[in-house]
Every structure is written in structure tokens, then in C-alpha cells.
Structure 1
Amino acid sequence: MFSGDADADLRQLADDTTFPHRDAARHAVRFRASGDVADLVAVHDDPHPCGMTDVVFALAGSKRPWLNWVPMPSEAISNIANDLGGRRARGEQLEVTGLGLSAAEPASAITACRRITGPVDIGIAQFPPPDIRTPVRPGRYAVWRYDGTEPVPAAPAPSAAAVAVLREVAGEPWQSPLSGYVEAAPLGGLPLDDLLGLLAHLPGPPDTARWQHLARSTPTYWYRLLQPWVCLGILHHATDQPWLTSTRREVLVDLAFGIEDWVADAALFALVTAAYREPDLRPEVRQLVRARLDAAVSANRLVTIEESLANLMLVTPGCRADDRALATAVLARAEQDDDEAEEPAPAPVPKRRWWQRSG
């Protein structure tokens, strides 16, 4: 039925006088062209929702950050892990005993690196303010703590059964947040300690062709992808509890405003998914996403999840003109930084971050 070209397929549906959801398809076409999230929300809020409106929603979000895929890790330590892990997967014999970073990076990125490289000493030159180890807001739930400069899981290791469920559920990206929520239901049946443990202990990927292939290029991506899946699972935890006083809400908000980490935007993604499903949640969720983006922007240093937070802001229901302006500015600045990094410098300049092998 579909060609694989989301834009062409949506235009065909929008022009088909026999298609009962032409308005939804038109909104999807406009969203693809302008990025105005109001059009995406209109697709979801079709007055006659059915499985086909979910398909239109998925087409609207095809190949868009968070709607169809989780942003790739961007940290220096992730680049190191991808390089070393990929070369090992291609048969090279490499040993690394020490690495150095000029500034601290997220605990999940550090842990993912060690999952790929094996035990390695990682020296961190500084923790510039605001200290990455300090939560944005105090909360009850956390998955990381620090022993000096070392990130340590704050939750017990997950059970073998929980790891098996994770690998079954999270082996592929979601078609859309809506379908991802449904597919994550088995994770919601796990104890909360297991879910928190999965977020911090980062078990390895499924032994499938997909992840064997990615092990040769971007082995860190599994660790980036699994956390949003787990957070979608948290949305299914104790759903009998009213939202405002629920454990699932408290956990996700605490993680979103905990220490600066991949877990933060993963938790916000789950909250944004809840906002699509439940319109009454939209004002609060928009405020939460904006507040977390504001915290990232106000930091007078590199925040590796800032670009990801900006992309999430742009797909948050209720995103206002000022929210969009801020997110767009963040993404434009990131693109400019990337372009400048690719241009040859007229003279050597200090890099914002560095790494080196030792030993």
C-alpha cells in the first residue's frame, strides 16, 4: 500500500477523495513541510481515530528525531567507544587501558563506553559549572550517583528476566511514540527496581543481525535506544494510580530533572508520549520540557543533550512560538558548530574536549 516515501504517500492520501482521514493526512503533509507540531497534534486528535490515523501519525513522523528514532550519542566518549568497538568488531586486536576527557560527560555515555571497551580508566580533567553530578532539581528517584568522579548505579542490577524482556521489546526502533507505547507494555509489568536497574546498568544488545551490524559502526546506539524504551515501560507502571499523584509521573519527572544524562531526555520523551495520549497532560508536559531545555541553554558550558532536548521541544504538544524559537536557535547553533568543526582552521586552536589513549 505504501511506497516507503512518507511524503509521497501522505500527499496521495490527502488527495484521495475516498480516504476517510483526508484532513489528518493534510495536517501530516503540513507538519512535514513546516514542522509545526500543532499539525501533528491534529493528526492524533482526529475526531474519528482508528488504526489508520495511527498510520498517518507514523508517516508524519517518519525519519524525524524522537518521533521515529532516538538521536545518536554525540559525546566524545561515545565517539571513542564507537571507533574502538567498531574496529574490534571488524577483527582488529586493540587494547586500551586509559582514556582522558577534558570535561565530564553523562554517566550513561561513560558506562556505555565501558560496556563496549571493557574496564578502562577514564580521567576527567574538570567538572565545569553547573556540575554535571548535581541534579537540576532534587527528587526522590535517581538511577545514578557519583563516587567522586566515578558514576555509580543508584539502583540494583536488573533481573535476568527483566533483561530478557528488554531485549525482546527494544530490539527495533518504534514506528511512532504511539506504537512504541503499546509495544513497551511488557516492560510495564516489571518491578520498578528492575526498570530503574535497566536504565543504569545498561545490559548489552540482543544477539540479532541488526545489532551485530551496528556493532561494526555505532555500538553505543543500543545503549542510547534502550533507555527511552524503558521510560515508555515506566508509563505502564501502576496505571491504576491517578496521574498527578502517580509513581510513574514522579519517577519520570525526577529522572528528567536529575543529573545531566541520557536518562533525562529519555524520561521527557516518555512524558511527551503521555501528552499525546492524554490531552489534559499537555500544559504540564510542555512546561517541563521547556524548563529542562532552559536549564541546558543557561549552562555556560557544553551540554551534550541540549540538541536532543531542542528536538524534543519541537515535537511536544502545545509547543509555543517562543519555545520553537529557542529550540530552533539551539539547533542552528549546533549546526554552525558542526560546520565550523569541518572547516580547516587557519591556526591550531584549543579543542573544547579531547581524549587520548594511555598505557
Structure 2
Amino acid sequence: MFSGDADADLRQMADDPTFPHRDAARHAMRFRSSGDVAELVAVHDDPHPCGMTDAVFALAGSKRPWLNWVPMPSEAITNVANEIGGRRAQGEQLEVSELGLSAAEPASAVTAFRRVAGPVRIGIAEFPPPDIRTPVRSGRHVVWRYDGTEPVPTVPAPSDAAVRLLREVAGEPWASPLSGYVKAAPLGELPLADLLGLLVHLPGPPDTPRWQHLAKSTPTYWYRLMQPWVCLGILHHAKDQPWPTSTRREVLVDLAFGVEDWVADAALFALVTAAYREPELRAEVRQLVRARLDAAVAANRLVTIEESLAKLMLVTPGCRADDRALATAVLSRADEDDEDEQEEQPAPAPAAKRRWWQRRG
């Protein structure tokens, strides 16, 4: 039905006098050209919602961060893991014994590294303030603690049945948050302990062609993608409970403001999804996303999830002009930093010298 070119498909819908959702298609086109999330909200809030308006919503968010895919890991430790995993997938016998980091990185990134590289000793030079190990706010639902410099899950490992279900549900990106929410419904039937366990024990990817292929380039991406899927599952937990006092709300908010980690923006993504579905939640969710972005911006150090938080802010219903200005400034600064780093990059050293981790053998 669709060509694979979202912009062309939307233009065709908007120009077709027989298409019953031409206004929605026009809103989708304006969102794709301007980035104004109010246009995307207008697609969702079509006065005659149906499966086709969901399709228009998905076309509007095609190939856009959080709307169609989770931002890639950006940590130094995941870059190393991807190189190690990719080379092993290509048949190289590569073993790593030690790794040094100049500063601490998120617990999920460290865990994903070890899932790919193995039980490597990791040395961390410093934990600059604000300490990554300290929650932004104290909450009842905590999934990470630190034993000195080592991140440790605070919850038991998930059941084998939960792992199997996760691999069935989360094997592919969502077409849109709306379809992702629907697909994640079976995860909501799991006990909460299983859902929290999946977030931090990070079971490996499905044995499918997609993940076999990604094992050769970005094996850490599964661990980045699976956590938002789990948080969509949490959004289904005990759905009969009224939202303001619900377990699902409390858990997601606690996770969003816990220690600095991939779990934080994954939880916020689930809250943003809820805000699309339930307009009465939009003001609260906008405030939560902005508060977490503010905390990242206020840190006088690198916050690796800051860019993904900014991208999430830009697709949050109710995003205001000041929210958009802050998020855009974050992303512009990140682009400038990337350009400066490329300009200052010295000439490549021989391959043996570029391997700054320690190897056995």
C-alpha cells in the first residue's frame, strides 16, 4: 500500500480528494517539514480516528528518533564493544582483559559492553559531579546500585519465560509509539519483578537474521532498543489502577529520575507514549521530560543521554517554545562538538596503537 517514501505517500494522501483523512496527512507533512510536535499531535487527535490515522501517524514519524527508532548508543564503552563484537562476528579471535575509562558511563552501557565483550575489568578514572551513581530524585523503585565503581542490579534476574516473551515482542523497532504500545501488551502481563529484571539484567538478542546482521556492526543496539520495549510493557501493568496513584506511573517516574542511565529515557519514552494516547496526561508528562532534560543540561560534565533526552523533548505532546529552544540548543551544541572533534582528530596511528584496551594473548 505504501511506497517506502513517507513524504511521497503523505503528499499523495493530502492531494487525493477521496482520502477521508486529508487534514491528518497535511498535519503529518507539516510536522516532517517543521518539526512542530503540535502538528503530530493533531494527527493523533483526528476527529475520526481509525487504523488509517494510525498509519498516517506512523508515516509522520518515519525514520525519526523515538517515533520510529531508539537513538543509537553514544558512549565510549559501547563504541569499543561494537568494535570488539563486530570483529568477533567476522571471525577474529579477539580477547579483552581490561578497559580504562576517563569518566563513568551509564550502568546499562557498561552492562551491554560486558554482554558483548565478556567479563572485562573496567577501570574508571573519575566520577565527576554530579555523580552518575546518585539518583536525580529518590524513588521507591530502584533498579541499579553501585558497589564502589561497579553497577549492580537491585532486582532479581527475569524468568526464562519473560526473556522468551521479550525476544518475541521486541525483535524489531516499532512503526510508531502507538503501534509499539499495542505490540507490547503481552509484556504487561508479566509480573513487575520480571519487567524490572529485564531492564537491568539485559538478556541477549533474538537469534534472527536482523540481529545476526547487527552483531557485525552494532551489537550493543539490542540492549538500547529492548529497554523502551520493556517500559512500554510497564505502561500496561495493572491498567485498572487510576493513573495518578497507579503502580505503572510510579515505576516509570522513579526510573526516569533514578541514576543517570538508558533506563531513564526509556521510561520517559513510555510516559510520552501515554501522553499521546491520553490527552489529560500531557501537561504532567511534558513537565517530567523537561525536568529530566534540565537536570542533564545543568550537569557540568558530559551526560551521554542528554541528546536522546533532547530528541524526546521535541516529540513530547505540549512541547513549548522554550522547551524546543533548549532541546535544539542541546542538539546544536552536540553537532558543533562532533565537528570540532573531527577537525582536531590527529592523523590515524597504526592499528596496534589504536587498541587502547588491554588484550590477552
Q: TM-score range by the shorter chain?
A: over 0.9
Name the residue aligned to 2:149.
149
Alpha-carbon distance in structure 1 between the residues aligned to 2:205 and 2:357:
27
Q: Within the alignment, does 1:278 sit opposite 2:272 as a pair? A: no
Percent identical pairs in the alignment equals 84
Question: How far does the alpha carbon of each residue in 1:66-117 deviate from its partner, in whole angstroms, 9 at most, with x for none?
Answer: 0000000000000000000000000000010000000000000000000001
Name the residue aligned to 2:122.
122
How far off its partner does 1:356 sit? 2.9
Q: Within the alignment, does 1:356 sit opposite 2:332 as a pair? A: no
Alpha-carbon distance in structure 2 between the residues aligned to 1:338 and 1:24:
36
Name the residue aligned to 1:26.
26
Alpha-carbon distance in structure 1 between the residues aligned to 2:357 and 2:306:
25
Letter of the 1:137 counterpart: R
Question: How far does the alpha carbon of each residue in 1:299-335 deviate from its partner, in whole angstroms, 9 at most, with x for none?
Answer: 0000000000000000000000000000000000001
> In structure 1, the residue corresponding to 2:260 is in which secondary structure?
coil
User: RMSD of aligned C-alpha atoms?
Assistant: 1.3
- C-alpha contact (below 8 Å) 2:95/2:359 kept by paired residues: no
Instruction: Quickly say closer, same or farther: Cα 1:274–1:355, change in 2 above 3 A.
Output: farther
Alpha-carbon distance in structure 2 between the residues aligned to 1:121 and 1:75:
17
- C-alpha contact (below 8 Å) 1:3/1:9 kept by paired residues: yes
How far off its partner does 1:339 sit? 1.1
> In structure 1, the residue corresponding to 2:96 is in which secondary structure?
coil
Alpha-carbon distance in structure 2 between the residues aligned to 1:343 and 1:16:
48
1:249-264 counterparts in 2 under 5 A? 249-264=249-264
How far off its partner does 1:28 sit? 0.2
How far off its partner does 1:203 sit? 0.1
How far off its partner does 1:357 sit? 2.4
Q: Within the alignment, does 1:2 sit opposite 2:6 as a pair? A: no
Letter of the 1:201 counterpart: H
How far off its partner does 1:272 sit? 0.0
Name the residue aligned to 2:79.
79
Alpha-carbon distance in structure 1 between the residues aligned to 2:52 and 2:142:
38
Letter of the 1:251 counterpart: V
Letter of the 1:55 counterpart: A
Alpha-carbon distance in structure 1 between the residues aligned to 2:193 and 2:229:
16
Name the residue aligned to 2:201.
201
Name the residue aligned to 2:158.
158
Letter of the 1:246 counterpart: S
Alpha-carbon distance in structure 2 between the residues aligned to 1:238 and 1:273:
17
Name the residue aligned to 1:171.
171
Name the residue aligned to 1:317.
317
- C-alpha contact (below 8 Å) 2:96/2:357 kept by paired residues: no
Alpha-carbon distance in structure 2 between the residues aligned to 1:357 and 1:25:
54
Alpha-carbon distance in structure 1 between the residues aligned to 2:356 and 2:167:
32
- C-alpha contact (below 8 Å) 1:314/1:324 kept by paired residues: yes
TM-score of the pair, normalised by structure 1:
0.97
- C-alpha contact (below 8 Å) 1:25/1:56 kept by paired residues: yes
- C-alpha contact (below 8 Å) 1:102/1:355 kept by paired residues: no
- C-alpha contact (below 8 Å) 1:275/1:285 kept by paired residues: yes
> In structure 2, the residue corresponding to 1:70 is in which secondary structure?
coil
Question: How far does the alpha carbon of each residue in 1:210-261 deviate from its partner, in whole angstroms, 9 at most, with x for none?
Answer: 0000000000000000000000000000000000000000000000000000
Alpha-carbon distance in structure 2 between the residues aligned to 1:355 and 1:71:
26
Instruction: Quickly say closer, same or farther: Cα 1:346–1:178, change in 2 above 3 A.
Output: closer
Name the residue aligned to 2:236.
236
Question: How far does the alpha carbon of each residue in 1:34-84 deviate from its partner, in whole angstroms, 9 at most, with x for none?
Answer: 000000000000000000000000000000000000000000000000000
Alpha-carbon distance in structure 2 between the residues aligned to 1:307 and 1:44:
25
How far off its partner does 1:167 sit? 0.2
> Unmatched 5+ residue regions in structure 2?
348-354
- C-alpha contact (below 8 Å) 2:65/2:311 kept by paired residues: yes
How far off its partner does 1:153 sit? 0.6
TM-score of the pair, normalised by structure 2:
0.97
- C-alpha contact (below 8 Å) 2:84/2:94 kept by paired residues: yes
How far off its partner does 1:342 sit? 1.3
Name the residue aligned to 2:138.
138
Name the residue aligned to 1:351.
none
Instruction: Quickly say closer, same or farther: Cα 1:251–1:343, change in 2 above 3 A.
Output: same
Letter of the 1:130 counterpart: P
How many residues are paired up? 354
How far off its partner does 1:276 sit? 0.1
